[in-house]
Structure 1
Amino acid sequence: MIHYILFDTETTGAQEEDRVIQFGSMILNQKGDLEVFDELCINPIPIKLEAMEVHNITPDLLKNKPNAVDTNFYKRLQELNRSENFLIAHNINFDLEMIKKEGFVNNYQLIDTLRCARHIFSELPYHRLQYLRYALELYKDEVAEAKKLNITIKAHDAIGDVLVMKLFLSKLVAQVKMSFPDINPMKKLVELTLTPVFVQTFKFGKYKGESIEDVAKKDANYLNWMMKNMDLDEDMQYTLNRVLER
């Protein structure tokens, strides 16, 4: 039976040395059965203050918690780690790299709801999960969903974000069914996850709001500087390479 594992992590920070301290997950199967996981875990890396500022997880909350690999979610993640199942997250590369530090070797089909959002809702200026929560009015359905599952929704809390992601995934599937009626929507989302997005405009920096192609024509040096000095995501790297090649 096919399973769909939606998950999110909170971590000690976003650097190479940082590790997982919270798992949030909802696991659904084809029958509609749902498993919910909301677990804190301990790791040897101190939590950075900047991370605490975002997720509000402090060291005292982790006392007597299990290691990441001993959580119920991680054990279930390993049990279902087969190619017929789907692993789903918003900006999945970040979360995947975090669980790889715990020894996880992926066999799932991957769906990145962030990249899929950039493909399918390209008209939106931003695709952060909390932005989508309001732009697509997901918040109107989340209270009833949270009450049904006995979940408290908080921004930048793993299980709260997973609940919003579940609602957003339903939107993605509906849009894919309309645009590609003859294709399995989950398979299409896997395909979109593997397809880089050409970013049209800058969302930050001195050229915020301007066309990247136009900036390439007038200030290619700035784009080259970005490539060398900034930590860019795959889509921005792909876009800058494309426009600089031209």
Structure 2
Amino acid sequence: MLVFLDFKTTGYEKEDKICAMSVLSADDYFSELINDGKKIIPELSAVHHISNENIKDKSSFLESKSYQFLKELNEDDLIVVHDYDFVFTLLDSYGVQLKTKIIDTKKVTKHIVSDIERFDLQFLRYELQLIEDKEVVYKPLEDVYVLKSLFQYLLQSVSEEEMLNLSFENVLLQKFSFGKYNGRYIEEIVHNDPQYLQWLLTLDTLDTDLRYTIEYYLQG
């Protein structure tokens, strides 16, 4: 079974929790709001438009339909997510370990559409013109449809088997997607400001592909 999963969280820190989950497969679609007793920070509400009022009467993740769905998945299933590192860390905090095959569309996009500044799902939606159907109006719990559209877009360039492999291979990035050098080529900054790159390497939260890229260029 091919399944697309999308998660929304209460914040950016490791202590934050799931506040919504969406599931899309050939046979099913459902979205569910979740309340694990962690308040959603305003910065995240501004992104996914889910408020603390929306979740105040909802069940916890371990009592949710979403949790039961994940428990029933097995090695024959193929899960598509956007940013597996994030999803793994998030689910691991609940004691959930996916036993399925995994495709990470964020990682695959980095490999085959490298010359862009950002790889978050909504940016890619418009950058790659993923959904033009006027019936698909943006709602926070329908990002899973954008995820499916991105997966189909990637299939035009690489096979499903190749995506499975690329999902766990390091990516040599080209540009910064944040900070004072946003949009600039990383290789250029190696020559102009190597101290900045050395400082980035001290950050525990640094993206794994950016860490790999910086170390690659600094080593010459």
**If the length of structure 2 is used for normalisation, what is the TM-score?**
0.91
Q: In the comparison of the two structures, how many residue pairs are matched?
A: 220
Distance 1:122 1:75, change over 3 A: same
Shift of 1:243: 1.0
Larger radius of gyration: 1
Instruction: Determine if contact 2:170/2:212 at 8 Å carries over to the other structure.
Output: yes
Match of 2:57 among 60, 64, 71: 64
Equivalent residue for 1:24, pick from 16, 22, 25 = 22
In the TM superposition, 1:181-220 aligns within 5 A as 185-220=159-194
Any conservation in 1 of the 2:108–2:167 contact (CA below 8 Å)? yes
Is 2:155 aligned against 1:153?
no
Which position in structure 2 is the counterpart of 1:124? 116
Structure 1 residue 200 displacement after superposition: 1.6
The 3-state SS of whatever aligns with 2:95 is coil
What per-residue deviation string (whole Å, max 9, x for no partner) do you get for residues 131-172 of structure 1? 22122222313x34x4xxxxx532xx1x32101111111111
- Give 1:229 deviation, angstroms: 3.9
Name the CA shift for 1:209/1:56 in 2 (closer, same or farther; >3 Å).
closer
Superposed CA offset, 1:208-230 (max 9, x none)? 44332232233322210111147
The aligned amino acid for 1:20 is: I
What is the percent sequence identity of the aligned residues? 30
Q: Classify the secondary structure of the residue corresponding to 1:98.
A: helix
Give the 3 Å change call, closer, same or farther, for CA 126–53 of structure 1 in structure 2.
Answer: closer
Tell whether 2:102 aligns with 1:110.
yes
**By how many angstroms is 1:92 displaced?**
2.2
- Asked if structure 1 preserves the Cα contact closer than 8 Å seen for 2:3 and 2:25, the reply is yes
Quote the offset at 1:236 in angstroms.
0.3
The two structures, once aligned, show a CA RMSD in angstroms of 1.9
Match of 2:39 in 1: 46
- What is aligned with 1:31? none
Residue 166 of structure 1 is matched in structure 2 by 148
Q: Distance in 1 between matches of 2:77 and 2:153?
A: 20
> Structure 1: where are the runs of 5+ without partners?
29-33, 147-151, 177-184
* Structure 2 CA distance for aligned equivalents of residues 231 and 188 of structure 1: 28
Contact 1:119–1:197 (CA under 8 A) maintained in structure 2: yes
For the 8 Å contact 2:117–2:182, the answer to whether it is kept is no
Matched residue type, 2:142 = G
Secondary structure at the counterpart of residue 206 of structure 1:
helix
Judge conservation of contact 1:37–1:72 (CA < 8 Å) in 2: no
CA distance in structure 2 between the aligned counterparts of 1:204 and 1:41, rounded to whole angstroms: 30
Structure 2 counterpart of 1:180: none
- 1:40-67 per-residue CA deviation (whole Å, 9 max, x = no partner) reads 1110222222222222222222233221
Contact 2:82/2:106, CA 8 A, preserved across alignment: yes
| Partner of residue 4, structure 2 | 6
| Separation (CA, whole Å) in 1 of partners of 2:15 and 2:177 | 28
| SS of residue paired to 1:239 | helix
Between the aligned partners of 1:79 and 1:86, the Cα distance in structure 2 is 13
Shift of the 204–49 alpha-carbon distance from structure 1 to 2, 3 Å rule, reads closer
